[in-house]
Every structure is written in structure tokens, then in C-alpha cells.
Amino acid sequence: MPCVSGMGGCVTAPALWPAWPSSRRPQDSDATGEEACRERTDRLCPLRLVHQFLRSRHRRDGGHSATRWAEPAMTLVGRRSEVRRILDVIEAERGESRMLILLGEAGAGKTRLVAAVADHARGSGRVVLTCQGSEAESQQSFASLHQLLLPVLPEVGTLAEHLRGALESAVGIAPVGGQLDPMLLRVAVLTLLTGVSRRRPVLLVVDDVQHCDRDSLDVLGFVARRIAAEDVSVLLTSRGQTPPDGVAGDLPTLLLGPLSEQAAAELVDAQPHPPTGRTRIDVLLQAGGNPLAIIELCRAAKMGGTRALPGGGLPQTERIQQMYAARLHGLPEITRRLILYAAASEYEDLATIMAAAGAGPDIAVWAPAEAAGLVTVADGRVAFRHPLARAGSYHGAPAYLRQRAHRNLAAVLTADPARRAWHLAAACLGRDESVAAALEDTAELAERRGGFFAAARALERSAECSLAAGDRARRYAKALRAANNAGDPSWVRELYDKVTALTHDPDVLGLAACGAGMALSLFGHQRESFKVLLEALEPKPPKHGTTALALTAVLQGVAFQSGLPEVRERIAGLLDRIETGGGDTPYAELGTIAAFDAVRASTLAGAEPTNAPELLRRTLRPNPPEPLVGVAQMNRLSAVGCIAWAADESELCVESLRQAYAMFRTYGSMGVAAPTLALTGSALIDTGRWAEADDLLEEAGTLAAVHKLRHLEIDVEALRVTLQALRGQPVVMPADPAWTAVGLEENRATHARLLHAAGIAAVSAGDFDGAFRQFRLLFDEDGAPLHYFLSHRSVADLAAAAQRTGQGEEAARIVAAVRTALGPRPTTRMTLLLHHAAALIGDPKDAEHHFRLATVNPAGEEWPLARAQARLHYAQWLRRRRRPLDARPLLATALESFNRLGAIGLAEEARGELRASGVAGSPAPADALAGLTAQQRQIVRLAAQGLRNREIAEQLMLSPRTVSYHLYNVYPKLGVTSRNQLRALLGDL
């Protein structure tokens, strides 16, 4: 009898042959039996046509295609086009998208379709790494990642020590030695898969991705976005019509719909005992084209006739679950008991299940379940043949038996506290403080490993098991903080609603509101964040001063990002009411006077930047009252960096935030630093550290993508466009439809960055009319700024564009409004920018006076690009007045600055002005690498090969920061701005 699988409608090829028509049986045919078999196999095997297509494509490509598929070992009825689509994605050229998510309802055949593809991939010489999502393991941090990487874990030893340690700790093969850095883990997995793919092509298959733990999905998402250049393909499956939470919504998708009527009929006829007559029609009608339903309904019809078919009143998934549960009735009692324990644990090992069930060592008791097609037992483990088989087996048992199973499993899992805690929680029908405490301990372990999703889920379940309402509220608030770090805004808001429903304690409410407000702000919902934060501060503020300050500090972040006056104007009044709290505090980072005062000053400076210089001086007073260590010092450094940003002390801003970020990474909480990443990127660009800005923006972009921080993602893209344009590279402002998910009206900081980037890009393209339009939008008709801080920094750019387009009078009104808004004592940077703007579009008789004030102050060297642009414009003004000798030194200095920065377009403009002033161009050095140190030459050659800074650092045993520093100094010497230009330069040499 041909073998038929009960999974996803997939059967071996012989089972697909229809009954021979009586007039054309093999013995009556002119063809031999073998030829007849081949004829019908060709007709009914859709994969054969696909392979013919692939072979023809291989010939058209001159034999260079990667198509090396073996003949299919199994076929899928009615899935020819789907198979072709999957193979095309897997065989795509490098650089093209080789990712696909297969969607469909339960039983559509997703699992068997990808299994067939995986088998063919192995036959073609690919390394196939597979993972089956498990609902039971979805709470276990990095469980899916461990399953996926298990075959290649022996190669972890080839990684650098810090990467190896991160990966081994995450998958549980090494003890956790402190806070796990999520970025190190992601880089470790990326490096591991890259190394494997350079020896053999790799196919990653993740089945039932909706049941994978979110921490694993975050790692896989990071890897997938960066693996396109390698020989790695990714195939996912999920139930439903859309990608599940945790999977990027823009992935290429393939919807596996129901079989056509013809294909469904072929599958019915292919079963070992196909129904006939009305029963056959009933099967086809009730199955609705679902392959698994067809197979199971045919099995049910064979066992009990038409009466065995479930009624049509229940959803199809439940009907199929009922059929699986019905198979249990004919099994021995001990086998049913084992099936229930396996369903309750799913992926526990065989010995654990049998010990918990008290079944003894004889595995023969599993034979009836295997014969019934429910499970397979192999390699010391039990696996259900289909997720619905597990669901039917579990939910078909009475509640008291399910509870007993979880208790018994917990009793034998003494060496695994995390699994034990979850089984205790599953057995807990009401509230149990011991279970709640165990889950809270599990959450702390998950957080130390960087598993924020696992921690948040454990804390949420811990809260549900807590006896006292106060403990529930406290644990929900902790879960909210973990969910906020994990980056799930809807979950954060749901948890916040639970906290507010449980308690009126202003400090617990403040703790929850702080996390909820930050999450809402990072996801672009500034007005909603403002409402949440203000409700926690008024009319009854938290009793503890640190909680009130934390709320107000987050509110200031909302004020800056939103740019809305109604938010900003509340900050000073709220700060006036806050007193330093004594005793214990939920915010250890604010537990010292120095840290508390620094955050308070930072909050006030961000809300009212004109006070920032004085606040910075107070904060930097020598001899703080107490030494700062740990999170308190980290928080103070971050606060100092933010005050320095507001005070236009860019060098201090960069240095302070550098130190703070190093500590954030140590604690594994870079998500908390997200609000400051865009301003640090801006400061790096302003101070000429463009190579370092590249690295920071890459890290910030990764963080934004991993946590779905929409406005940060847009900010980072705007800053990248700005850098490209400044380097003279052709750019096009991205037209990402997803940006509409962020309301620019309530995210004015992001809006201002986009307008500035668009203006710089237009200048780079020589479109000064377009540039003026973009810069002009940073101010309204009356000259009021779109954003109270960022708009003012573009005043010189606006004036330069206006001077080129004859719009000087309109721009002069804006410059005057900015001067008034900044008050009598603007910062040094703004003073220089205002002089620069006035020289370009002010009274012509005062132009040289303003040009000199814009270019002679030594403090202006802190912003080398702005200083060089002022010198260029001054020199152009001098040359138009027939003073070329005065212009030459300014042009030479500006040219040197542009070359050092890598601003190729501006350097070319300065070089043209020098030639026009009578200075001949200087020849390029014969050997551009001759002036570099040996280490710099090594770094340059590796960078020219396309290696990232981290990869170079691993090879040369340096820190990535050292590599970035050397490239920052080397690029201007070589006259390049990118690795592509390095590659061309080394090729020329």
C-alpha cells in the first residue's frame, strides 16, 4: 500500500496516481507498464515541469545558474506555481531579495511544502538550517534561535571570544556572565552564518514563525536585513493572511490558498481508501480545499462513514482539532496519558515526559500513538505530526488532567527553573504568590540574557498570579518596563491600562507612566505620550522626587521631539515643584544628588535652550558632593551630553555621550539611549567626525529597526542623506510610504531633520531654488520656527540659498526673527551662524564686517564644515570685488577643510574658485598610502575589501572605535569618503 502522510496534504508520488480507467489499464496499453507509469507521473508531477523550467533557464544562463536541484522525491498536489515561486526566490542572484514568507491557514500544506524544498536544497549541496516554532517554547528566550543554529553550533569556536561568549550564553551552552549585549548576539549570529555561507550556500527555514519567541525573531530580523550580499536564502511560514507580530510587514509573501476543485479531487482520490459517492462530495465540501482537512476527513469517513464527519457549525480549525482528539479515544490509557504530557510540554525530552507521567522506561507504550499518526518518537524526543494534533490532544483532555500534567512536569524539572516556573504557572488556575515569585525570578534571568520579550511575558504572568493587588500592579509595571525595552508599543499601553486599573499609588503609576510615555514618544505618538505623562504628574504627583523627575525628563523628551509649545511650556513649572527624594528609589540612576541635579538641569535646558550655557556651567562645577559609579554616573554623563547639545558645546556633547553609550552597552540597554542617538549623530556631523557618524547611524538604524522606533528610523535616514549630500554623492530623498505612520505635525524634530536633509541634497544637486523652498519651510510666514531648536541651526543655509536665488529680502526677515528669538546672548555657534547669514543677505555695506566675525573667532573651528563654508563664501565675495589675493588664503584653508572632511562637492567648488583667483591646481601624490602608518595601511586595505569596522577590528585585534578613528583620519588624506572609493583608489595604485 502506498504510504500517505497526514501532514499538510503531502503524499509520496505513488499515492498521487489516480485509479486507472478501466479501458486503459497498463496491461491493455500499447506502452509498457513502466512507460505508462512514467507518462502519468509526468502528467501529475507539477515539480517536474518546474525543474524543466529551471534546466532551461540554466541553459539560457550559459550554465552559470546555481540551479542544481535533484529530481523531486515527493510532490504536492496543486502547488506547481507555489513551488516555482519558492525555487525562484531561493535561486535569486546575490543582492536580490532571497526572502519569502509562506502564509496560509492551518492544514494548507505549508510545513510539507517547505520540507520538500528543504530536501531538494540539501540535495543541491546547501546547508539547510531549520526551526519549528513552538507555542510551548514561545515564552523561552532564544529557544527558536537555539533550534535553528544547532547544526552549526560546533563552528561557534571560530568566532571572536566576545562574540562566541554572547552566542553561547544566549543559547544556554555557557553560563550567563552578566548583562548580555543584544547587539553582540546579533553580530555573532550574522558572523557565524556569513562564515558558513562562504563555504556552502545556506537556506534558513523557520516553520510556524508565529510561535517563535520574539527574542529569536529580533535576532533573525537583524541578520536577514544584512545577509543579502551572502549566499543565504530565508524561507518562513506562518498561519494567517499577514505576517505575524515580530516579522517585518514588507517581506515578500506567498499566500498558500485552498486547492482548486480539481486538485482537491485529485488529492481525495489519492488517499489509500478514497470515499465515493455522496461521502466524497461531503468531504470536498467540508474540506473547502484544505489539504489536511481532506486527508483527515477521508480517514474519518473510512473509520465511521458519513456519520464520522464533524458538523459544519464549528470553525474549520476546531473541526480538525476535534478529529485529532477523536483519535485518542481508541488508544490505551497510558498512551493517552503520555500524549497529554507531551502536548503539555511539546518539546521536553522523552525521558522527562515519561518520568513526569510515571510511565516507566519502556517506549513501546508510544506505539499506538505513532500508528494513529499523532506523534513520532525519535532521538530521545517526541514530536507531534502537526501543531493541530498537539492542540487537539491538549484541549481534548479535561482541565484537571491538564493541570496535573503541568504540576508533574514542574516536579521533575528541578534543574531548569525557567521551564519549571512556566509549568507551575500553567497549573495555577487562580493566584499563587510562590508561582508569581518564581516567574519574577525567571524574568530577571531573561533580562540578564537580553531576552526582553521573555522577561516581559514572565512578569506579566507573574502579575496575573499575584495575590495582592499592589504586587500585581508592581509586577505589571516591571513588565511594562521590559516590554518598553523590547519595543512593543501596543503591549506597553495594554500593560499601562492594567496598572492604572489596579492601583492609585502615584509612585507605581508614575513608574508605569514613565515607561508608557517613553514608548509612545519613540513610536511617534507625542500627544498621547504627553497626556499619559501629565496624568501621572497632575493633579497628584508621585510622592518620591525621583519618580516625578523621571516623568518630567521623559516629558521634556516629548517636548523636544514634538516641538509643540503647549508641551514645552509645562516643564519649568513641573520642575519647580520637585524636591530631591530621600530613602529608597525605584530609579537607581537618580539615587545620588549629582545625578539628580544633572538630569534636572538637562530637562530644563532641553525645554529652554537659552538657559543651557548657565545650566552647563553649574552642572560642571568641580568637586561633586559624592563620587558617581554605575548607572548614576551613566545617567549623569548622558545628562551632561544633552545639556551640552542645547548649549551648542558640541565637542563636550560628543565626548559625554560617547562615555554614556559605552556604559549603556555594558548594561545591555541601548534602547534607553534611543532618544539621544539622533542628536549625537548631528553633533558628529557638525564637528567633522563623519566616519564615526556613519558607525553611530548604522547602530541607531539597527536599533530603530529592531525595536520599530519609527521616528528614530526616519531621523537616521535623514542624517544619512545629509551626509551623502555633504560628501557630494548623488542622493534622492527616500519616498517611503511607511513614513506616513509618523505624524510630522506632532514630530516636528523629525520634520525639521527631513527638511534640512532635503535642502542639503538640493544644494548638492545645484538646485538652489529647491533648497530655498526646503529651508524656508523650517519657518512660518512670520519667521516663527517649525522647531524651536533645530530650525535655527539652518539659518546660514537658508541665507546661502536665498543669496543664490535672489530671495535675500525674505530670508532677511527670517534672520531677524531668529536673532530676536535667541535673545541678547546667543551661543557662540549661533552667533557665528547669524553673522554668516547677515553677511550673505544683509546690508551690503556691512557684509565684510559680518564675514570677518563669522570666520576669525577660533571657537568656530569646533564646527569645521560651517567654518569652511563661511570662508568659501567670504572668498567668493572678495573675488567678485576683484580682491583675489585676499581670497586665496581663505580658499586654500577652506579647501583643506573640505578635503579633510571628505566633502568632495564643496572641495571642487573651492578648487574652482582657487583656479579663478589665479592659483594652479596641485598634483596628487604618486603613492597615496605612503604617508600612512603600517596599521593604517592594513585597515585601509581591509576596508577597501568591503569589511565593516567590527570585522576589521576582529581581524586586527583592535576595538571598532580604533578602526573608526583611523579611518576618520585617513579618508581626508586619501581624498575619499567611502569604501567604494578606497577600492578604486587601491586598484589605481
pLDDT for residue 314 is more than 80: no
Residue 272 banded pLDDT, cuts 50, 70, 90: confident
Q: What are phi and psi of 777, to 5 degrees?
A: -70, -10
Distance CA(481)–CA(478), nearest Å, equals 5
120-124, 176-180, 232-236, 816-820, range with greatest mean pLDDT: 816-820
pLDDT for residue 27 is more than 60: no
C-alpha to C-alpha distances, 333 to 348, 369, 375, nearest whole angstrom: 21, 11, 16
Do the Cβ atoms of 972 and 900 come closer than 8 Å?
A: yes
Look up residue 389 and give its three cell numbers.
494534533
CA contacts within 13 A on the Cβ side of 272: 12
Q: Between 688 and 969, name the one with better pLDDT.
A: 688
pLDDT for residue 129 is more than 60: yes
Tell me the residue ranges of DSSP E strands in 792-931.
Answer: none
Beta strand 381-384 pairing with 202-207: unpaired
Residue 24 banded pLDDT, cuts 50, 70, 90: very low
Q: What is the pLDDT of residue 12?
A: 28
pLDDT for residue 292 is more than 60: yes
Residue 668 banded pLDDT, cuts 50, 70, 90: low
Exposed / middle / buried, residue 816 (Cβ in 10 Å: 0-12, 13-18, 19+): middle
Report the range of poorest mean pLDDT among 255-259, 732-736, 847-851: 732-736
Q: Between 773 and 450, name the one with better pLDDT.
A: 773
Beta bridge partner(s), residue 163: none
Q: Between 54 and 799, name the one with better pLDDT.
A: 799
* Mean of pLDDT values over 755-775: 93
Q: What share of the chain is helix, strand, coil (3-state, %, to 5)?
A: 65, 5, 30
Distance CA(695)–CA(716), nearest Å, equals 11
Q: What percent of the chain has pLDDT over 90?
A: 28
Q: Between 45 and 449, name the one with better pLDDT.
A: 449
Q: Using one digit for the tens of pLDDT, what is the confidence trace for 483-504?
A: 776 656 667 878 888 998 998 8
Map out the domains of the chain with their CATH numbers: 73-255 (3.40.50.300), 261-323 (no CATH), 934-988 (1.10.10.10)
Residue 836 banded pLDDT, cuts 50, 70, 90: very high
Closest CA to 695 of 498, 869, 952, 899: 952
Q: What is the pLDDT of residue 849?
A: 95
Q: What is the pLDDT of residue 733?
A: 61
Look up residue 873 and give its three cell numbers.
563664501
* Mean of pLDDT values over 17-26: 30
Q: Using one digit for the tens of pLDDT, what is the confidence trace for 337-389?
A: 999 999 888 557 888 899 999 888 889 999 999 888 788 898 888 888 765 67
Q: Between 49 and 536, name the one with better pLDDT.
A: 536
Closest CA to 483 of 510, 509, 520, 508: 520
* Mean of pLDDT values over 67-84: 59
In sign, the C-alpha dihedral spanning 465, 467, 471, 476 is: positive
Could you identify the residue written with the cell 499609588?
505
Distance CA(110)–CA(388), nearest Å, equals 13
Q: Using one digit for the tens of pLDDT, what is the confidence trace for 872-931?
A: 999 999 999 989 999 999 999 999 999 888 898 899 999 999 888 887 654 444 455 666
| Mean pLDDT computed over every residue of the chain | 80
Q: What is the DSSP letter of 792?
A: G
0.75 surpassed by pTM = no
In sign, the C-alpha dihedral spanning 571, 574, 580, 585 is: negative
Beta strand 99-104 pairing with 232-239: parallel
pLDDT for residue 545 is more than 90: no
Report the range of poorest mean pLDDT among 330-334, 716-720, 949-953: 949-953
Amino acid at 932: L
Q: What is the pLDDT of residue 26?
A: 33
Contacts of 979 (CB under 8 A, 6+ apart): 943, 944, 946
Q: What is the pLDDT of residue 55?
A: 36
Rg (CA), the chain: 33
In this structure, what is the dihedral angle of CA atoms 473, 478, 484, 487, given to the nearest 10 degrees? Answer: -100
